[in-house]
Structure 1
Amino acid sequence: MEPKSKLAGPDRAAVLLMSLGEEAAAEVLKHMGPKEVQRIGTSMASLSNVSKSEVGEVLDDFVTTVEEQTALGMGSDDYIRNVLTSALGKDKADGVIDRILLGRNSKGLESLKWMDPRAVAEVIRLEHPQIIAIVLSYLDPDHAAAVLSFLPERAQPDVLMRIATLDGVQPSALQELDEILERQFAGNMNVKSSSVGGVKSAANILNFVDSSKEGLILDKVREVDEQLSQKIQDLMFVFANLAEIDDRGIQALLREVSTDSLVLALKGADDTLKEKIFKNMSKRAGEMLQDDLEAKGPVRLSEVEAAQKEILSIARRMAEEGEIVLGNKGAEQMV
């Protein structure tokens, strides 16, 4: 029996789209979000030497999947809401449901997801912090973090606190947001009430903020509300939390991380995480890493933090793609 293709999800999607032809592929891409388009587009640009058997396998899988689909429940918002809530639990399903059911009526907000972070910041920077908080809550965490970094520094802690304490969106706030986006894009919107924001959302966004700014923002939040600051920090996935990933996940992560970044990152790591890393390397690789650590000497804290952020970013990407499971308190929000 011929071995199954090792093509990853985005690569398989790219093979399928490239097999469809330009017009059909374009029609499919129109229905995808910015992240999906970017991932599949990157795969389309980098694919090479795809065998005929791999193409055949992708097409066969697609045909099999399509043949198994039915129209049952199609178009029923209640059906979709009930199924997702049963499958994922209410907390985890709410964000997905908002994206699917409410997002389709929020064209103005959706358009922001395709914009450069600096451009989004320009659109919203002069608006009320509560409006900014609502907008950032709708964006993907990494995108929201980039937008947050382009906002005035004095406003960043206030916006993050508002995200953390956001418990649903009031009709008046949505109406104001509606008017902002209507002015900017001359579009009509019909945004429904949505359960965006919360402490998890704030923590997830802060995870993607540059280390130097992350500390300053949290310090400012702590000055105003120490309890809220602690709640946000408890839900953040920090470098030490990598020790909670299972062995298979650590091994997969190490294959994606450069040795230089790992050496720098481990200069600021605790013994528990170091032991976890060494345990999941071959004896020879572990000895070489230990030698590199000892030979590196003192390094700037900013360099260590930057390397740790880079590795955390890789871990989150792998978690989003289902390759690993992040094992901290905030894992449910990020996976």
Structure 2
Amino acid sequence: MSVERTLTGPQKAAVLMMTLGEEKCARLFEQMHEEEIREVSAAMSQLGIVSADAVERVCSEFSEGLGSAETLVGDLETTERLLKRALPAGRAVSIMEEIRGPAGRTMWDKLGNISEVVLANYLRNEYPQTVAVVLSRIQAAHAAKVLALLPEEFALDVMTRMLKLENVQKGVLHSVEKTLRSEFVANLPRGSHRNSHEVLADIFNNFDRRLEGRFMEALEAHSHDDAECVRSLMFTFEELVNIPAEGLVTLSNALQREHLIVALKGASDALKTAFFKTMSERSARILRDEIDALGPMRVKDVDAAQNEIMIVAKKLLDRGEIELLDREDIENEMI
């Protein structure tokens, strides 16, 4: 359907950039700030068909005497192609995921948009094996919230089954898919297989410290080996010290400052020092003063701030924008 209504500023910018062609459009994206890229690319992806008259009206605002314009189509595919030409692959994918929203993602991402209360209330009436299958395929942060709302014994049963999902029968998975398809979403693509201990470790990473300790203790009582394996795979806040300096700079730039201040209040001296070393002497001194000025903090508030930072850090790691090295590797780099 053609766009004949009054265009917004971002929509006009999107029309103009697409009129200039992919190469020039990509060069313009390179000069824009992240928020501008997101705003314009979101508008671009939703334009649909824009008539030649509408294109010419937009172009006339920028240049009198601009030649005849052609009809253009703004859609997801065109937008993605333009972003990939202008941005690193990770950033382009991230922006396109935001633009597409729940309707354009996988079934398990759609399931992740259901309130944890609603999902927990539904799953508490299902077999633990069914719950294990579901929680192993949704986002770890969401799975952690759901597990926290389930009865503790039931949650422990689910976690132990998650560790053995390699043996799940196709019939069980098919049954789960059929139920979810009818009750939550229209279609269901199969999720990629992941190591069951890694899945559970990701979920533990998203528990607050109290729940993490309680469930880890219960899991250890059930199976010491499984607990040790999950613990070894967990990515903890203190492990940020194993991110090289340039990675910590990237992470710091992506964080809300108040989260960093509160999180470092409960951090080890080694981790604080690692962050301070990435700053100028003046900036490090200001950050130290801000941390000291907080005074005593509730563990709950520190945990919440550290969890916010871990969410950002994991996203950056997944995109390849930062890396996590072994301590030995970092020490070798310093030699």
Deviation at 1:215, TM superposition (A): 1.5
1:116 matched to which residue of 2?
A: 115
Deviation at 1:110, TM superposition (A): 6.6
Question: In 1, distance between residues paired with 2:250 and 2:186?
Answer: 45
1:5 matched to which residue of 2?
A: 31
Q: Is the 8 A contact 2:317 2:323 kept in 1?
A: yes
Q: Is the 8 A contact 1:240 1:269 kept in 2?
A: yes
Question: In 2, distance between residues paired with 1:117 and 1:223?
Answer: 27
Question: In 1, distance between residues paired with 2:303 and 2:143?
Answer: 20
Deviations 1:267-293 (A, max 9, x none): 322222122111011101111222233
1:143 matched to which residue of 2?
A: 142
Query: Whose radius of gyration is greater, 1 or 2?
Result: 2
1:162 matched to which residue of 2?
A: 161
Q: Is the 8 A contact 2:240 2:324 kept in 1?
A: yes
1:69 matched to which residue of 2?
A: none
Q: Is the 8 A contact 2:107 2:185 kept in 1?
A: no
Deviation at 1:221, TM superposition (A): 0.5
| Residue 19 of structure 1, aligned match among 41, 44, 51 | 44
Q: Is the 8 A contact 1:241 1:328 kept in 2?
A: no
Distance 1:272 1:109, change over 3 A: closer
Question: In 1, distance between residues paired with 2:234 and 2:83?
Answer: 40
Question: In 1, distance between residues paired with 2:182 and 2:78?
Answer: 45
2:129 matched to which residue of 1?
A: 130
In structure 2, the gaps of 5 or more residues are 1-23, 51-61, 64-73, 86-105, 328-335
Deviations 1:182-228 (A, max 9, x none): 66369787x87974551001101221222221221111101111221
Q: Is the 8 A contact 1:157 1:218 kept in 2?
A: no
1:208 matched to which residue of 2?
A: 206
Q: Is the 8 A contact 2:129 2:158 kept in 1?
A: yes
Code of the aligned partner of 1:230: E
Distance 1:280 1:193, change over 3 A: closer
Identity %: 29
1:62 matched to which residue of 2?
A: 81
- Matched position secondary structure for 1:138: coil
Question: In 2, distance between residues paired with 1:182 and 1:151?
Answer: 22
| Residue 310 of structure 1, aligned match among 308, 311, 324 | 308
Question: In 2, distance between residues paired with 1:262 and 1:293?
Answer: 9
C-alpha root-mean-square deviation of aligned residues, in Å? 3.8
| Residue 224 of structure 1, aligned match among 203, 218, 222 | 222
| Residue 248 of structure 1, aligned match among 243, 246, 249 | 246
Distance 1:287 1:123, change over 3 A: same
Deviation at 1:253, TM superposition (A): 1.5
2:12 matched to which residue of 1?
A: none
* Count, aligned residues: 258
Question: In 1, distance between residues paired with 2:175 and 2:83?
Answer: 47
Question: In 1, distance between residues paired with 2:265 and 2:187?
Answer: 53
Code of the aligned partner of 1:15: V
Deviation at 1:254, TM superposition (A): 1.5
Code of the aligned partner of 1:246: P
